[in-house]
């Protein structure tokens, strides 16, 4: 029998939920084995900082493992072959294994650091300024403009959902190539966009000029917005502020610059959706820098409500998907490995074998989300959540 690794999402690194999932997975494996099926549950490895629980099974085929996970009532992100067993993982009394990080989920599966990477980890407070500089370099790498078109519908949805009226002063935080700021300007708002990657702002300026739209585009950090308190009617961010290094500081800034009664609207990839799975796949091959919190925390209403704090009321959310089409799963993986900063820079830190393993897992992830439309290529739905709030 071969070993297989299953990846499950565990919201907010919840230890109790991880324990429950591990227990169900073990029960399902035992039941199937009793029925004479060639499958055996081995162990679970919980990585709270990645909101992920890995299950290790021994089985005759990946299909049997998928069946076990389905019988356990769990929603698997993906299953991959693990040719060597997990070394050095420390089993905790509750049956889950904590504080380990998988460095590969294909040909080798090794656990490394047992150090927490959360801001309150045992290594002391992380240097968030250093983390911000690292992340700025990540977003400056690759060529985000080649990816940006994929999220145009998300920005349009955000602007319509929050409601932008002519004359509103609207801030688009982490505007990238300007999607939300441009959408607001098209609705006759006074649109302002900020981002910390100058090359992306230049593209946004060219797009504004091409449409003859007046959009103010400024190089700035979402954690230190260069605006007075209460200077915007509407503050928005599409798949943007979620990538700030200091989530708390970014949340405070969004609230500070919104006028009383003004609206805040944030669209973020969900942890359980496609991009959540992709970011976890990348993190399984290349550990995120110390102190990095999962960006997809912003894809949950509770977390965003907490980050915006007492300065807001009426926190609500809606969940939606944006449909993506690629020639095939390999085309998706290659596009992201070549142009998308986080995957591009992660691949740059791996050797040839490591890059091939990362690519294989990205291909597998895309295949597991394929809607199966055959000759139409790979078609998948990427889930995001829009959280809205009103400034007190």
Ligand X SMILES: C[S@@+](CC[C@H](N)C(=O)[O-])C[C@H]1O[C@@H](n2cnc3c(N)ncnc32)[C@H](O)[C@@H]1O
Question: Is 41 or 332 the residue whose CB approaches ligand X more closely?
Answer: 332
Tokens of 240: 């943007």
Count of residues in contact with ligand X, rule CB under 6 A: 24
Helices (H) and strands (E) in the chain, counts: 13, 11
In the list 10, 59, 174, 307, the residue contacting ligand X (rule: CB under 6 A) is 174
Question: Does 175 sit near ligand X (CB under 6 A)?
Answer: yes
Tokens of 99: 């504080």
The 128-167 contact track toward ligand X, x by CB under 6 A, reads ----x--x---x----x---x--x---x------------
What distance in Å separates the CA atoms of residue 276 and residue 297, rounded to the nearest whole number? Answer: 10
Residue whose C-beta lies closest to ligand X: 176
Q: Could you report how far apart the first and last alpha carbons of the chain are, in Å?
A: 60
Question: Does 238 sit near ligand X (CB under 6 A)?
Answer: yes
Tokens of 13: 């690194």
For residue 372, count other CB atoms closer than 10 A to its CB. Answer: 9
The 209-228 contact track toward ligand X, x by CB under 6 A, reads ------------xxx-----
In the list 57, 196, 344, 384, the residue contacting ligand X (rule: CB under 6 A) is 196
Question: Does 380 sit near ligand X (CB under 6 A)?
Answer: no
User: Nearest Cα to 253, choosing from 275, 214, 220?
Assistant: 220
Question: Is 200 or 357 the residue whose CB approaches ligand X more closely?
Answer: 200
What distance in Å separates the CA atoms of residue 116 and residue 126, rounded to the nearest whole number? Answer: 11
H or E segment and range at residue 335:
helix 329-339
Question: Is 77 or 172 the residue whose CB approaches ligand X more closely?
Answer: 172
Question: Does 9 sit near ligand X (CB under 6 A)?
Answer: no
Asked whether 87 and 111 are in contact (CB, 8 A), the reply is yes
Question: Is 8 or 204 the residue whose CB approaches ligand X more closely?
Answer: 204
Question: Does 207 sit near ligand X (CB under 6 A)?
Answer: no
The 273-312 contact track toward ligand X, x by CB under 6 A, reads ----------------------------------------
Question: Is 57 or 269 the residue whose CB approaches ligand X more closely?
Answer: 269
**Collapsing DSSP states into helix, strand and coil, what is residue 300?**
coil
With DSSP H G I counted as helix, E B as strand and the rest as coil, what are the percentages for the chain, rounded to 5? Answer: 45, 25, 30
Cα torsion for 133, 137, 138, 142, to the nearest 10°? 170
* Residues forming the site for ligand X (CB under 6 A): 132, 135, 139, 144, 148, 151, 155, 174-177, 179, 195-197, 200, 221-223, 238-240, 243-244
């Amino acid at each position: 029998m071969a070993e297989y690794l299953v990846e499950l999402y565990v919201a907010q690194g919840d230890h109790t939920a991880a324990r429950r999932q591990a227990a169900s997975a073990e029960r399902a494996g035992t039941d199937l084995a009793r029925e004479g099926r060639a499958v055996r549950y081995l162990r679970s490895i919980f990585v709270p900082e990645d909101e992920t629980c890995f299950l290790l099974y021994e089985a005759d085929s990946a299909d049997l493992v998928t069946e076990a996970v389905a019988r356990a009532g769990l929603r698997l992100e993906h299953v991959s072959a693990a040719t060597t067993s997990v070394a050095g993982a420390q089993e905790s009394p509750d049956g889950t294994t904590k504080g380990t990080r998988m460095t590969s989920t294909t040909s080798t599966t090794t656990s490394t650091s047992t150090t927490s990477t959360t801001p309150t980890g045992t290594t002391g407070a992380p240097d968030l300024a250093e983390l911000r500089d690292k992340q700025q370099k990540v977003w400056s790498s690759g060529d985000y403009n080649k990816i940006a078109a994929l999220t145009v519908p998300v920005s349009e949805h955000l602007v319509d959902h929050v409601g932008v009226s002519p004359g509103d002063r609207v801030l688009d935080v982490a505007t990238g190539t300007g999607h939300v700021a441009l959408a607001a300007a098209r609705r006759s708002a006074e649109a302002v966009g900020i981002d910390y990657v100058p090359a992306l702002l230049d593209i946004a300026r060219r797009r504004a000029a091409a449409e003859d739209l007046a959009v103010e585009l400024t190089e700035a950090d979402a954690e230190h917005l260069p605006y007075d308190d209460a200077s915007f009617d509407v503050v928005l961010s599409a798949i943007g502020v979620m990538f700030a290094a200091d989530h708390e500081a970014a949340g405070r800034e969004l609230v500070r610059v919104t006028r009383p009664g003004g609206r805040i609207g944030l669209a973020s990839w969900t942890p359980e959706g496609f991009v959540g799975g992709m970011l976890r796949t990348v993190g399984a091959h290349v550990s995120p820098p110390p102190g990095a919190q999962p960006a997809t925390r912003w894809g949950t209403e509770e977390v965003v409500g907490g980050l915006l704090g007492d300065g807001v009321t009426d926190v609500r959310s809606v969940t939606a998907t944006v449909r993506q089409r690629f020639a095939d799963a390999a085309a998706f993986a290659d596009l992201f490995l070549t142009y998308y900063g986080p995957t591009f820079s992660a691949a740059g830190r791996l050797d040839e074998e490591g890059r091939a393993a990362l690519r294989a897992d990205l291909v597998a992830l895309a295949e597991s989300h394929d809607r199966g439309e055959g000759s139409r290529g790979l078609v998948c739905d990427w889930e995001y959540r829009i959280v809205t709030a009103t400034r007190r």
